[in-house]
């Protein structure tokens, strides 16, 4: 058998494959042997039916040859892929050139493949991550959130400020709409927490007790105007689904659609409304005094200092964990920016199909249908699917970029692949050669090798990308790659940018992360 690959363009290859008559004859004999073993032909015991009878049973010699040819073409195609180390993005387009009825077989198999993309500059790639220093302001804010749980409301004579609790009489009238006017008496809410009435916070701040505030605003009116009004003017709970915008996929998160907050229907239009708010009462939250006595009575701490130390430690751990989680995503985003070529549509659709399948599995695990999820989602189905498709584009770029690094760095995974196949062989009680032959014959060995190369390419990237924080301090890659439950004996910052201070002199209380400090927990 001879295999001749021909590159048609940047992401299509045609294999011209010649199969000699003897190989095709062997395939026909094997097919006849299988028929003799399995076919149930009246008047003959299994294995005893003559060849002529078997040929007639499947529709004649031509039908027999056609079925044998399907097997030969499939095996030859897989062999062509393995020989050329090519992973297809599409099913092959098969065209038989010669041998359909007799003689040697010659056919063409045309497939779509991944293009080779450029990631020029990947060795000098730089990633900027948020700083991990815990400030006094952040510690104070965290403690104030605890104090706020014990706050008491006190009447206020001055102007309304954010955080105050106000009591209002509110009336809303709609211009150019058949919606009926709405009014709320003794409407109580905390300023700054989004009342649900459009622009109310902006106009109520600075008002005083007894003030009457007038202003105009607008909302988007859809076909379901009453429901839209209720959503804007009331506390309408939306059930949570298993998806949030913070969740991302394997090396990529779901791309956010910039138009996701726009009205979904073509009939959506601006709805004008007039708002009148009478300020009846203003109260401010008075926090308890931060003393050792209060801390001991209201919290698990013994005094203010122990509370501050623990809060600082918790914030430091949270920041480190967040930055570590962000690091791979930011590194991949920076790498994707180097890819100027557009991924082929077939690769995008493959990634999109995988995203749909993964999310369907998550819904199934949550015992939720697509209809239930979309009903409880703030996004309509089209915008959600659109974001999934946007994520697939990012995933496709990531796939191409990591393969490019694997090629450029000549990453080898032969030993890793052997280890993986050995594990499969051990679990299945088969030999390594049997397992390898199975995956090779099924066409899966190439994809297994590619996935391992991509994993090692990502590992290379995360160990070699240049990382800084928002204050331009260099960060240590090894620290960023530590698991959150590991002991952080390594420096947060790169040793070349650290000062000569003795890390051992840093006490447990001094957990503010500064240039040159060690990380002790």
Using alpha carbons, list the distances in angstroms from residue 514 to 138, 430, 503, 511.
15, 55, 11, 9
Residue environment code for 30-47, b if the CB has 16+ CB neighbours within 10 A, otherwise e: ebbeebbeebebeeeeee
Boundaries of every domain in the chain = 2-112, 151-289, 305-341+409-505
| Rounded distance between C-alpha atoms, residue 332 and residue 474, angstroms | 19
Residue count of the chain, please give it: 521
Nearest to 401 by CA among 460, 313, 320: 460
What pLDDT score was predicted for residue 134? 94
Cβ–Cβ under 8 Å, residues 16 and 106: yes
H/E element holding 203?
helix 200-204
| The pLDDT of residue 146 | 94
Q: Per residue of the chain (521 residues), what is the pLDDT tens digit?
A: 899 999 998 789 999 999 988 888 888 888 878 777 777 777 776 667 777 877 787 777 788 888 888 889 999 999 999 999 889 998 999 999 998 888 899 999 999 999 999 999 999 999 999 999 999 999 999 999 999 999 999 999 999 999 999 999 999 998 777 778 889 899 999 998 877 788 899 999 999 999 999 999 887 654 444 444 444 444 433 333 333 333 333 333 323 333 433 434 444 456 788 999 999 999 999 999 999 999 999 999 999 999 999 999 999 999 999 999 999 999 999 999 999 999 999 999 999 999 999 999 999 999 988 888 877 666 566 788 888 999 999 999 999 999 999 999 999 999 999 999 999 999 999 999 999 999 998 889 999 999 999 999 999 999 999 999 999 999 999 999 988 665 554 455 554 444 433 323 333 333 332 333 333 33
In sequence order, which ranges of 299-413 are alpha helices (DSSP H)?
A: 304-337, 345-365, 370-375, 381-408
Distance of alpha carbon 343 from alpha carbon 327, whole angstroms: 24
Which CATH code fits 151-289? 3.10.50.40
Same topology between domain 2-112 and domain 151-289: no
Please name the CATH architecture into which domain 2-112 falls: 2-Layer Sandwich (3.30)
């Amino acid at each position: 058998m001879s295999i001749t690959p021909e590159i048609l363009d940047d992401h299509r290859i045609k294999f011209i494959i010649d199969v000699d008559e003897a190989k095709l004859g062997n395939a026909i004999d094997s097919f006849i042997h299988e028929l003799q073993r399995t076919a149930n032909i009246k008047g003959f015991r299994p294995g005893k039916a003559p060849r002529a009878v078997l040929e007639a049973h499947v529709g004649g010699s031509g039908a027999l040859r056609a079925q044998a040819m399907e097997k030969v073409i499939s095996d030859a195609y897989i062999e062509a892929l393995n020989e050329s180390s090519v992973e297809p993005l599409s099913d092959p387009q098969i065209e038989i050139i010669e041998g359909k009825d007799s003689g040697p077989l010659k056919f063409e198999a045309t497939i779509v493949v991944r293009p080779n993309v450029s990631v020029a500059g990947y060795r000098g790639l730089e990633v900027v991550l948020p700083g991990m220093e815990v400030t006094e302001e952040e510690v104070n804010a965290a403690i104030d959130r605890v104090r706020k749980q014990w706050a008491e409301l006190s009447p206020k004579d001055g102007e309304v400020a954010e955080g105050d609790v106000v009591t209002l009489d509110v009336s809303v009238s709609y211009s150019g709409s058949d919606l009926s006017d709405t009014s709320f008496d003794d409407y109580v809410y905390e300023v700054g927490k989004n009342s649900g009435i459009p622009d109310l916070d902006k106009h109520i701040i600075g008002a005083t007790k007894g003030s009457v505030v007038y202003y105009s605003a607008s909302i988007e009116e859809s076909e379901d105007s009453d429901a839209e009004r209720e959503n804007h003017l009331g506390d309408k709970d939306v059930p949570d689904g298993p998806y949030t915008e913070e969740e991302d996929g394997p090396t990529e998160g779901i791309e956010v659609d910039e138009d996701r907050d726009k009205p979904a229907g073509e009939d959506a239009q601006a709805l004008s409304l007039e708002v009148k708010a009478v300020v009846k009462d203003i109260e401010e939250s008075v926090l308890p005094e931060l003393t050792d006595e209060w801390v001991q009575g209201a919290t698990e701490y013994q005094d203010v200092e122990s509370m501050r130390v623990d809060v600082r430690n918790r914030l430091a751990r949270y920041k480190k964990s967040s930055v570590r989680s962000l690091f791979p995503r930011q590194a991949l985003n920076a790498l994707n920016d180097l890819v100027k070529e557009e991924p082929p549509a077939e690769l995008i659709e493959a990634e999109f199909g995988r995203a749909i399948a993964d999310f369907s599995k998550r819904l199934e695990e949550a015992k939720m249908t697509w209809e239930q999820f979309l009903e409880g989602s703030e996004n309509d189905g089209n915008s959600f699917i659109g974001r999934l498709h946007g994520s697939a584009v990012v995933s496709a770029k990531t796939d191409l970029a990591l393969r490019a690094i694997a090629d450029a760095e000549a990453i080898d995974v032969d030993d890793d692949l052997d280890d993986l196949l050995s594990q499969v062989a051990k679990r299945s009680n088969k030999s390594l050669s049997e397992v390898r032959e199975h995956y090779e014959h099924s066409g899966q060995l190439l994809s297994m090798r590619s996935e391992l190369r991509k994993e090692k390419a990502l590992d290379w990237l995360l160990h070699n990308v240049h990382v800084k924080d928002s204050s331009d301090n260099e960060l240590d890659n090894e620290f960023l790659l530590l698991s959150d439950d590991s002991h952080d004996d390594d420096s947060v910052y790169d040793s070349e940018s650290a000062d000569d201070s003795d890390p051992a002199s840093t006490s447990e209380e001094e957990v503010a992360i500064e240039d040159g400090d060690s990380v002790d927990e």
